[in-house]
Amino acid sequence: MINHNELIQHRYRLIRLLGSGGFGAVYLAEDQRLGRTVAIKEIDVARLGPDERAAAEQLFEREARMLASLDHPGLTRIWDFFQQERRAFLVMEYVPGCTLRDTLHRRGGPLDEPFVLECALQLCAVLGYLHARRPQVIFRDLKPANVMVVEQQPAIAGEPPEPPVFRLIDFGIARLFKPDQTGDTLIIGTPGYAPPEQHGQGQTDVRSDIYSLGATLYHLLSSYVPNTVPPPPLASVNPAVSPDLARIVARATAVDPADRYQRVEDLRHDLLAVARAQLIAAHEQGLVQEAAQTPWRPPAVAAHRAPTPLPPPPALARIAGLAAARRARADCVRAIQWRCGLQPDACHPRWPAATDVDNRRR
C-alpha cells in the first residue's frame, strides 16, 4: 500500500485511493511533469508465490508495452509502466464516472434490459478489438468493477442524453494468447466471473473473455454474483428477463468452451437481434398507447353543396362566345357615341341614327 501524497518515480504524486482488491490497488495521482490527472494501478507481485512471482516480473514489461500500444474508445490508455520494490505500476488515463458495480449498488436490483444490451454491445466491440490483435489480447478479468460508466451530455440543450459509454479500466492480468501453450503461467482471476479454464484447467482464450462477459451480464440482469459454474438459469432468478437474452447469457457461460460462442462477433450478432426486436416492440407499443390515448371521433361529413354543373357542349360554347363578343362590341359603340354626342337608333341600338349623323354634319 502506498502512502498518501507519496511521490513515485520523482513524477507521480498520489492524491487518494480509488479502489483496491485482489493483487493491487488503484490510485488517483497527478503527473507533475505533464500536469494532468492519471490513475496508477499497483500490482503487488510480492503476494504471489516464488515461481509465479518470477514469471510475473518477466512478463510484466513485455505485456505492459503491448497494452500501451492499444488504441480504442472503449479502453483506457496506458501512458507509462515501471517496477519499484517488487511492485509493478501501470500509469493509465483517469476516467471519471462510476463502475457497473457502483451502478448496481445504487439501483439495488437488476438493471434495465436496454441499458444492459447497450453495455453488452459496447463491450463486445472492445473485446473484438483486443481479440483481433496479433497476438491476441485476452482480458481475463471482465467484471462489473472493471467497467466504467461514463455518462454523456446531450449534444443539443433540451434533447435526451446520448447512451452512456462503457470503458474497460483494468488491464492488471491481461495476457497474450500463445497457441502452443497448454496452461496459463499465472492462475489469477475473480471468482464468479473467471471461467473454469482460468483456474488451472487449461489456457485462457477468446472464449474465456466471452464467459466473463456472460457472467457480467448475468450479474447486471439478476443483481446476483454468479458464484456457481454454470450459474443458475436467469429465468429462475429474474423471470422478467426476455427468453432470448437469457439463452444468450446461458450459452456464453457454458462450462465447456466448445459450447460457448466461439467468437465475440457471433455473440454480438445475437445481442443485436434482441436489441432490434425490443426496439421494434417498443415502437409498436408506443403506437398502440398513442392510439389508445387519442379520443375517437366520428368521421367528418361533408357539407351539402350544389352539384357542379357540367361543361356546355362545344356548339353552345361557340354561341356563348359570339354573344359575348357582340356585347363587347356594342359597349364600344356606345362609348364612341357618348364621346361624339350622338344618340343611338331605337331600332338598332348598336348603330347611330342616320338623321342624327346628317344633322351633325350640317
Query: What residues are annotated to the active site?
Result: 141
Contacts of 106 (CB under 8 A, 6+ apart): 98
Phi-psi sector, 208: left (phi>0), alpha (psi -120 to 50), beta: alpha
Contacts of 323 (CB under 8 A, 6+ apart): none
Cis preceding-peptide flag for 154 (omega within 30 of 0): no
Q: Please choose, from the candidates 75, 112, 113, 115, the residue with its C-alpha nearest in 3D space to the C-alpha of residue 92.
A: 75
Contacts of residues 81-86 at CB distance under 8 Å and 24 or more positions apart, as own/partner, are 82/9, 83/57, 84/8, 84/9, 86/44, 86/45, 86/46, 86/53, 86/57
Q: Residue 316 and residue 322: Cα distance in Å, rounded?
A: 10
Residue 319, number of CB atoms within 10 A of its CB: 12
Q: What is the largest CA-CA distance in the chain?
A: 148
Q: Which three cell numbers stand for residue 360?
A: 351633325
